[in-house]
Amino acid sequence: MSDAYIALADGRVLEARTRSPGRTRGELVFTTAYTGYEESLTDPSYAEQVLTFSYPLIGNYGVRSERFESETVQPRAAIAREFTDDVAEWLDGEDIPAIDHLDTRELVTTVREEGAMACGIAAGEDVTPEDAIAEMEACEPMSDHVDIGAGVSVAEPELHEGDPAGESDVRIALLDCGAKGSIIESLNERGADVHVLPYDATPEDVSAVDPDVLFVSNGPGDPENFVAAKTVVDVFAGELPLAGICLGQQIVASALGGDTEKMTFGHRGVNQPVKDLRTDRVVMTTQNHGYTVADPGPLEVTQINVNDDTAEGLEDDDLGILTRQYHPEANPGPHDSLDFFDDVLAMADSTTEITAD
């Protein structure tokens, strides 16, 4: 007898083993990352999703909070072929259902062919397949989570001061739509002060911190629902240098007249190849997204995904805009694109010089 079930939107119910009990639902997605489970499980971009690891053994180097990207576990549930006890105990302590001992190859293949889909999980003593089906049937599409930012953003502004040993003295206003901690750290360690503002900050809130750069973070859900952030971008484009990562790129493009669309199953992993069209250089990148910029509006697409040609980098040298669809901060993943943060800070410095002249 199984003690866990996952019901899929395509009508199937799979049996599994409970590692952390509970009933929940969410959008079923997978990551191909083979390390970095602590970072992925604490990445706020996974809110309202059920995260499947395609790598079969998750937890083999323990669980350490230094590697967390936020204070809590973010997906609604986690699935692997095999979780170690360390990970199972962590997720249980956080009340996040976790299941293993199922064929994750089949799950991943299903999502790859049919797309990210609603699923329901029922795990623990006395659960039935019907419990999982009821959860799946109550699962809302991602775009219906219209205020998803509220659950992952700071409630009040916070100042994260830059390292005095860092070279930059740039002041950044970061719209926190669900920011990974290592984005803030990447800026701080270069010396930049980061004013973290709520996802629904107004243009006046941004002006109040008198920033040199406006930075829009990563985050969960459909970018079109981040209405306040789009207004802020629209107001400051051309006035301040603008940067964004992942959801941030999508919000910037959409705010300036472009458009986003949902991908079939997205990009989630640590070996996504990205080509810079200006230099022809290819780097390996960390990714976690289910939407993409379909129309960049007035921005130039300067980087593309080698696998499917989707927009990975947008720029406008005159307006001072620089965004990435992938995660230059890594954590987990390759450090090939850390220089993005240097480029953002350099953009601020050069704009300051232009203004001073």
Ligand X SMILES: NC(=O)CC[C@H](N)C(=O)O
Question: Which residue is associated with the tokens 């040199």?
Answer: 212
Q: How far is the CB of 248 from ligand X (least distance, A)?
A: 7
Using the contact rule CB under 6 A, the part of the chain among 75-83, 164-172, 214-222, 341-349 near ligand X is 214-222
Active-site option among 27, 145, 246, 312? 246
Q: How far is CA 202 from the centre of its chain?
A: 23
Q: Does 220 bind ligand X (CB under 6 A)?
A: yes
Q: Does the active-site annotation cover 66? A: no
Count the Cβ atoms, other than its own, within 10 Å of residue 195.
22
Neighbours of 353 (CB within 10 A): 9
Q: Spell out where the chain has E strands.
A: 4-8, 13-20, 22-31, 49-53, 57-58, 77-79, 82-83, 98-100, 117-123, 158-160, 171-176, 193-198, 213-216, 242-245, 259-276, 282-295, 300-305, 311-316, 321-324
Which residue, 211 or 266, is less far from ligand X as judged by CB?
266
Which range binds ligand X by CB under 6 A, 112-120, 182-190, 286-294, 336-344?
A: 286-294
The binding track of 43-72 with respect to ligand X, each residue x by CB under 6 A or -, is --x---------------------------
Name the nearest CA neighbour of 124 among 19, 216, 15.
19
Between residues 18 and 217, which has the closer beta carbon with respect to ligand X? 217
How many CA within 13 A on the CB side of residue 319?
20
Is 327 tagged catalytic?
Answer: yes
CB of 119 to ligand X, least distance (A): 16
Among 94-102, 200-208, 235-243, 284-292, which window interacts with ligand X (CB under 6 A)?
284-292
Q: Which is nearer to ligand X, 162 or 290 (CB)?
A: 290
Under the rule (CB under 6 A), what is the footprint of ligand X? 45, 218-221, 246-247, 288-291
Q: Report, as residue numbers or ranges, the catalytic residues.
A: 246, 327, 329
